[in-house]
Structure 1
Amino acid sequence: MARNLQKHILQIASGLFYSQGIRATGVDAIVKAAGTTKMSLYKYFPSKHDLVLAYLHKNREAFGVRISAGIYAHADSPKQKMLAIFDVFDEPQSSPKFRGCPFINASAEFAENAHPIRQATAEFSESFVQLLADLAREAGANDAEQLANQLAMLIAGAIAKEQMQQQSGAMRSARAAAEILIAHSLTG
């Protein structure tokens, strides 16, 4: 039962953090929405920052699963895998509940470089770029790191555009630009 309460608190907090923002969501709101007590929340998450870090960790795992499923189930070549990542990110953008990337949002709310939440978002970003660089190297890209950074910027920009103007088709446009960058990088 205790493990279920911990997961329930994290699930409720995750929804509130994503829909309302981290700083705007107080512990009292989380406790009320979860139907629990502060004592229970603090038993599992000693501070709100610990709860936010758990939220980011949960999202990182979920992104990993979605990306793996999307690129490895529907793409054969490294080039197709890089492009499939755009499709993975395009899917949730059609939801009316779409509020952007939880990592970009958290990074914007915690701008201090030394803050643990900001560091967690930076680690996610670095690991995502590394995944793209690994795929670019597999594909034979001339400069895998540069291509990975360019693709990551296209994805982040498309997410931000879609957050500001839903149903804009930004990720599809970013994917089209990625096809050009990838083709250029593979041919030199």
Structure 2
Amino acid sequence: MDAVSRTTPERARGRGQGAARERILAAAARLFAHQGINATGMEQIAEAAPVSKRTLYAHFRTKGDLVLAHLQALASSGDTLEGVLTREDLGPRERILGLFDPPAAGAPGTASVRGCPFIDAAAEFPDPESPIHRYAREQKLRMVRLVTELLEELGCPRPAALAEQVVTLADGVASRAMVLNQADYGRHARAAAEVLLGQALDGAG
């Protein structure tokens, strides 16, 4: 029996449904980055995917569900500001300073610098009890935990306090780089972070 004959209608439908979901998420990511979450309608996403509105709502019952899935996909992709902190090919110090590397470009076809998607989402959903705001907060708390762990590896005294200073610099850079549309704006905060790390490591010695 060849490969084609082994493909059942159920498997084919499953693959089709998975492909549709990925197209929806990819379209949402492009549109959210280019024009913001609240300015993007579900019909626009369905058209860009392209899928029918019925298919879109079969995968994501509400726009909030889609936004949350979008943020979860970003978090797992490693392509966000925090992604560098889990890279196993870099040492602890390089991971921390990697927070100040130029941010990823905006949606394909644009030259805009984008800020942190979690901060952007929290700003568009300001209610602290909103599932989207809560998820953004969880990612920011995870960010400071990861930096704290890396500082502990380096032997820094008071790693939690220093981690808060580092992530405050990193989030500030992401926002200012977006507002000013300057991808290399992080060089200013990187210099400050290097001073903080140097002082902490000198103190540890």
Asked if these proteins are the same fold (TM beyond 0.5), I'd say yes
Structure with the higher helix share, 1 or 2? 1
The aligned counterpart of 1:148 is 163
Task: Return the alpha-carbon distance in structure 2 between the equivalents of residues 93 and 182 of structure 1.
Answer: 28
The 5 A counterparts of 1:33-112 are 33-63=48-78, 66-67=83-84, 71-73=87-89, 75-76=90-91, 78-87=92-101, 90-92=102-104, 96-112=111-127
TM-score under structure 1 normalisation? 0.89
TM-score under structure 2 normalisation? 0.82
Residue 117 of structure 1: how far off its partner (Å): 0.3
| % identical equivalent positions | 34
Residue 169 of structure 1: how far off its partner (Å): 3.1
The aligned counterpart of 2:182 is 167
Alpha-carbon contact 1:100-1:159 (below 8 Å) kept: yes
Residue 85 of structure 1: how far off its partner (Å): 3.2
Cα distance 1:154–1:186, how it changes in 2: closer, same or farther (>3 A)?
Answer: same
Alpha-carbon contact 1:93-1:167 (below 8 Å) kept: no
Alpha-carbon contact 1:83-1:179 (below 8 Å) kept: yes
Rg larger for: 2
Alpha-carbon contact 1:162-1:169 (below 8 Å) kept: yes
Alpha-carbon contact 1:16-1:30 (below 8 Å) kept: yes
Task: Return the alpha-carbon distance in structure 1 between the equivalents of residues 34 and 164 of structure 2.
Answer: 28
Counterpart of 1:112 in structure 2: which amino acid?
A: D
Counterpart of 2:97 in structure 1: which amino acid?
A: L
Residue 72 of structure 1: how far off its partner (Å): 2.8
Task: Return the alpha-carbon distance in structure 2 between the equivalents of residues 21 and 175 of structure 1.
Answer: 28
Counterpart of 2:104 in structure 1: which amino acid?
A: P
Residue 98 of structure 1: how far off its partner (Å): 2.2
Residue 168 of structure 1: how far off its partner (Å): 6.3
Comparing 109-118 and 60-69, the one that deviates more: 60-69
The aligned counterpart of 2:32 is 17
Alpha-carbon contact 1:56-1:103 (below 8 Å) kept: yes
Counterpart of 1:126 in structure 2: which amino acid?
A: L
Cα distance 1:163–1:137, how it changes in 2: closer, same or farther (>3 A)?
Answer: same
Structure 1 unmatched ranges of 5 or more:
none
Counterpart of 1:145 in structure 2: which amino acid?
A: A
What root-mean-square deviation, in Å, do the aligned CA atoms of Structure 1 and Structure 2 show?
Answer: 2.0
Residue 61 of structure 1: how far off its partner (Å): 1.0
| Matched residue SS, 2:138 | helix
Tell me the alpha carbon deviations over residues 116-140 of structure 1, each in whole angstroms, 9 at most, x when there is no partner: 0000000110111111000011111
Structure 2 unmatched ranges of 5 or more:
1-15
Residue 32 of structure 1: how far off its partner (Å): 1.6
